Amino acid sequence: MLDSTLALLAQGYAWLPDRHRRSRGKPVHCRLTGKNAVALRGPEAVRFFYVESHIERRGALPGPVLATLLGRGAVHTLDGQHHRVRKALFMSVLTHRGGLEGLAEHLETEWALARQRWAGHDQVVLFDEASLLLTRAACAWSGVPLADLNAEEMAGDLVAMVDGFASPGSGHLRARRARSRQEKRLTRLVEQVRGATGAAPAGSVLAAVAAHRDADGQPLDAHTAAVEVLNVLRPTVAVSWFLTFAAHALHRWPEHRERLADRDAAYARAFAHEVRRFYPFAPFVGGLAAADPLWDGQDIPAGSLVLLDLYGQNHDPGLWPKPYIFDPGRFVGRAPGRDELVPQGGGDPATNHRCPGEDVTLTALEALVPLLAQLSYDVPDQDLGMPLRRMPTAPRSGFIMTPLALFTGTAVSCSRVWEAPRSTVG
């Protein structure tokens, strides 16, 4: 088989769903980054993928992803008891300093401060403003000191790590430099917390990571501790993408605004789920087959790359009727099945490799989307297109708002707005 890496880069999110469509529901066999690969999707595939004896993570992630998005030595690269002990650290920090409710309080505070800043501007770019307020809130919640002069640099670096991991060229180089810069800064901070020159707030992420002992009973080296602190901060700031998607959805379908502005908590959660289902974020996740696992009556040779098609599953008409219609009503009065909705992976976040930041994403959206819906603003003419070949994608304009104008609800021409091509439906 020809290697499909260049095809993936050329087609982006459409590549794997299109292959699944042509395979007529069978697993997709291909080569990717020089390895034999098989791609799966569907709730049964999710359950298969997250069985520890089926899939290994060590050695599965390519170096460019570790050097930008995740960091070397991160929890994502571990298996077995080492993974379980490290994952327990992440689950514990979600309850620190008031837990997710504490994060929501920081987000609402930062939103109020951001509104004060916006009052002096003719227009603001929501994506940029979201990344800054999320960085400030995440650092305050995590116990990471952040001087005003460093906030914009850190926000830019955290965004770059996500934005450039799958982008060859200058974006990827920016992501590498950003990770190196912040790893060095946080390594020094961990060393200070462990020494006599610094301290971390009791119960904070920083304190928990600095004090953590791994499965071998040893504390994390300072660099790995810094990597894991970033693995709390970076996913929180990545909510910038989802909040910008939410603004796009409110602009195209303003009928959802009133219920959100009224702080209907159940509807806010349903809206957050639909934003995460409808809009493209992670295309797939991967691991290495362990000990020839059996799938669909066929052995998968050990060492093969196994991909789980997240974007395709979230748009599978067998799971989601009319999957390219934005409809929060899908989730009103019904929580999504654990292995059905998989924008950030599947499985059990406490024991599997499912992203523990999923609850952070939902908390942030439930806190911020109603505040966005309450805000009076206009949306000037701009390019809101989202190229599917770019991963991760976002509106090209970053979603420009004029925050002091009355909301008009005037829609941008649909020809300039992302709509997934039907050829990507599996």
Determine the pLDDT at residue 96: 67
Q: What is the pLDDT of residues 200-245, one digit of tens each?
A: 998 899 999 999 999 999 999 999 999 999 999 999 999 999 999 9
* pLDDT exceeds 50 at position 48: yes
Q: Is the predicted pLDDT of residue 410 greater than 50, yes or no?
A: no
Residue 103 has pLDDT above 60, yes or no: yes
Q: pLDDT digits over 142-151, tens only?
A: 999 998 668 9
59: left (phi over 0), alpha (psi -120 to 50) or beta: left
Q: Considering only CA atoms, which of 156, 154, 176 is closest in space to residue 167?
A: 176
CATH number, domain containing residue 88: 1.10.630.10
The CA distance from 27 to 156, in Å, is 39
Q: CA-to-CA distance for 335 and 426, rounded, in angstroms?
A: 24
Phi/psi of residue 233, each to 5°?
-70, -45
The tokens describing 45, both together, are: 């595939």
Strand boundaries in 294-394, DSSP class E: 294-295, 298-299, 305-309
Token pair 């077995």 in the structure block, residue? 80
Distance in angstroms (rounded) separating the CA atoms of residues 136 and 150: 10
The type of residue at 155 is A
- Rounded to two decimals, the pTM is 0.91
Instruction: Please give the tally of structural domains in the chain.
Output: 1
Q: pLDDT tens across 310-367, in order?
A: 999 999 999 999 999 999 999 999 999 889 999 999 887 766 666 767 889 999 999 9
Mean per-residue pLDDT for 61-75? Answer: 87
Which among 420, 241, 171, 196 has a CA at the least distance from the CA of 314?
Answer: 420
180, two tokens: 């190196």
Phi and psi at 138, nearest 5°, equal: -65, -40
* Structural domain containing residue 197: 5-424
User: What is residue 120's predicted lDDT score, i.e. its pLDDT?
Assistant: 78
Average pLDDT of the residues of the chain: 89
CA distance 342 to 339: 6
Q: What are the pLDDT digits (tens) for 355-405?
A: 767 889 999 999 999 999 999 899 999 999 999 999 999 999 999 999 654
User: Residue 338: its pLDDT value, please?
Assistant: 87
